[in-house]
């Protein structure tokens, strides 16, 4: 009778036990080795080499990611935010231009027609640019969908209003007000929300670019402390003051620490300057342009409504306070405070004067309209030939704000590019210094081990 071997006592059991006992055997071997000086030196050497390689690798990856973030700010993130802002500006100006053309009566003047067509084309082109970067951002995708779907509806309503206006039918005003209502209720809020999302993404990347790589820094500090402790141990055991290999390794780590610290401090300062006097200044100027564009649309729509535009005039007055009202909290004063150079300050000052002149012209428009001089009011509101008309003052305001905005973008580009230049070569340099440290440890410990043979 053949009896089956007990469970766990088959022919493979000894091999399995040997495999399972390997960790314990390794631990015993390490403990035995660590009980003698050569074994301790070997373990110290292996640990320091591994820590040097890991520190160099993690440091290089962290520095490369930071530089990639900075470069992406310049090449992609800021231009996309600018494109989103331009969508709002173009759509709002198109709406104001359509209203001004309607007030001109009959066929749309060629100058206004060209401006309207350019605004719509510009909005479409920038929408295409912004839509290429909304994948995975639900809020941005939603706004792009609204803009893509509603913009053709808006242009169709404007064309219908224009056709009725050419024929002298009063229904033209109703279609234009419906188009403007769609613009104000759907298109402009979507464009503004899209810009806010893109600006938040820009700010988040700026924050990431200027943040401290704490994990990599901790590894460097630990490695430096371990190297100093290892040198003290070797000195006590060998009665030799210096170990050349360990000194080289320590020097490499110190060079990497000083280089990285100085580079990161300068880089962070530059990125912060690009934010405070670049993108942040641009953000305030963008908000000032948005408010001014809303005011212009309200100004023209008040006239289109022919006595039924009280809500437009009321909103115009509220927005005027936000743009250039009393106190330091208005947008133009905030933009002046963020201006880094004298040229930008001068542009903001000129914009303030334009805003004051525009408000004075607007007051005259309202006086003429309320006094029954409708055609004179329309002429003063939309004429670009008259130097003191509301249209001329608004155009000058928008032009100066646009120049200040370009200065802010230029300052952002200069400061962020300088930050990128500071980081040049840091990632591969950190990797090389990590390898140098590992090589120094290897040579230093090897020389001491050879003395025990």
pLDDT tens track for 259-268? 999 999 999 9
% residues pLDDT > 90 (the chain): 49
Q: Per-residue confidence at 1, pLDDT binned at 50, 70, 90? A: very low
Question: How far is it, in rounded angstroms, from Cα 91 to Cα 280?
Answer: 23
Whether the per-residue pLDDT at 309 is higher than 80: the answer is: no
* Residue 25 placed within a domain: no
Pick the more confident residue, 12 or 421.
421
Residue 310 lies in a domain: no
pLDDT reported for residue 298? 87
Q: Which two tokens stand for residue 408?
A: 């802010």
Is 322 domain-assigned?
no
pLDDT value at residue 25: 54
Asked whether residue 266 is assigned to any structural domain, the reply reads yes
- Helix (H) or strand (E) holding 359, with range, is helix 342-370
> Is 377 a domain residue?
yes
Is 261 among the domain residues?
yes
Alpha carbon 297 to its chain centroid, in Å, reads 29
Q: Is residue 141 part of a domain?
A: yes
Q: Phi, psi at residue 105, to the nearest 5°?
A: 80, 150
- Is residue 275 within 8 A of residue 73, CB to CB? The reply is no
Position 447 pLDDT exceeds 90: no
Which range marks the domain in which residue 250 is found? 40-296+329-450
Nearest to 336 by CA among 310, 314, 309, 355: 355
Q: Give the tokens for residue 415.
A: 């400061």
For the chain, the domain total comes to 1
User: What proportion of the chain, given as a percentage, has pLDDT over 70?
Assistant: 89
Mean pLDDT of all residues in 156-170: 82
Look at residue 451 and tell me whether its pLDDT is greater than 80.
no
- The answer on pLDDT for 165 being more than 80 is no
Per-residue tokens: 118:
């350019």
Answer yes or no: is 16 within a domain: no
pLDDT band at 26 (very low <50, low <70, confident <90, very high): very low
Q: Convert the pLDDT of each residue in 385-413 to its tens digit.
A: 888 899 899 999 999 999 999 998 899 99
């Amino acid at each position: 009778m053949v009896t089956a071997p007990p469970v766990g006592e088959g022919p493979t059991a000894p091999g399995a036990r040997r495999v399972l006992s390997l960790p314990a055997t390794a631990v015993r071997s390490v403990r035995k080795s660590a009980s003698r000086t050569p074994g301790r030196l070997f373990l110290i050497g292996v640990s320091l080499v591994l820590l040097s390689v890991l520190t160099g690798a993690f440091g290089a990856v962290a520095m490369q990611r930071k530089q990639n973030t900075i470069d992406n700010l310049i090449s992609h993130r800021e231009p996309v935010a600018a494109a989103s802002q331009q969508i709002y500006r173009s759509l709002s100006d198109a709406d104001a231009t359509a209203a001004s053309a309607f007030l001109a009566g009959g066929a749309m003047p060629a100058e206004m027609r060209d401006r309207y067509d350019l605004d719509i084309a510009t909005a479409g082109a920038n929408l295409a640019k912004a839509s290429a970067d909304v994948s995975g951002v639900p809020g941005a995708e939603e706004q792009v969908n609204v803009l893509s779907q509603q913009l053709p509806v808006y242009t169709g309503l404007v064309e219908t209003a224009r056709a009725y206006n050419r024929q002298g039918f009063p229904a033209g005003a109703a279609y234009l007000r419906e188009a403007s209502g769609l613009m104000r209720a759907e298109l402009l809020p979507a464009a503004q929300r899209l810009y806010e999302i893109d600006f938040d993404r820009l700010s988040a990347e700026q924050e990431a670019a200027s943040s401290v790589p704490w994990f990599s820094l901790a590894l460097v500090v630990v490695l430096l402390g371990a190297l100093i402790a290892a040198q003290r141990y070797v000195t006590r055991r060998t009665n030799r003051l210096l170990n050349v290999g360990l000194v080289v390794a320590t020097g490499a780590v110190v060079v990497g620490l000083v280089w990285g610290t100085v580079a990161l401090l300068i880089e962070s300062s530059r990125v912060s300057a690009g934010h405070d006097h670049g993108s942040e200044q641009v953000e305030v100027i963008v908000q000032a342009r948005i408010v001014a564009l809303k005011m212009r649309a309200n100004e023209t729509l008040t006239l289109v409504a022919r006595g039924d535009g009280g809500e437009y005039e009321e909103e115009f007055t509220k927005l005027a306070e936000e743009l250039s009202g009393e106190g330091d909290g208005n947008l133009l004063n905030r933009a002046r405070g963020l201006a880094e150079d004298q040229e930008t300050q001068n542009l903001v000052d000129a914009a303030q004067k334009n805003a004051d002149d525009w408000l004075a012209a607007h007051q005259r428009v309202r006086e003429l309209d309320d006094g029954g001089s409708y055609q004179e009011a329309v002429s003063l509101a939309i004429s670009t030939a008259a130097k003191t008309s509301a249209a001329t003052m608004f155009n000058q305001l928008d032009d100066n704000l646009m120049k200040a905005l370009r200065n802010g973008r230029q300052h952002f580009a200069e400061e962020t590019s300088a930050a990128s230049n500071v980081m040049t070569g840091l990632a591969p340099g950190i990797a090389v210094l990590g390898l140098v440290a590992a090589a120094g440890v290897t040579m230093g410990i090897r020389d001491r081990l050879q003395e025990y043979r």
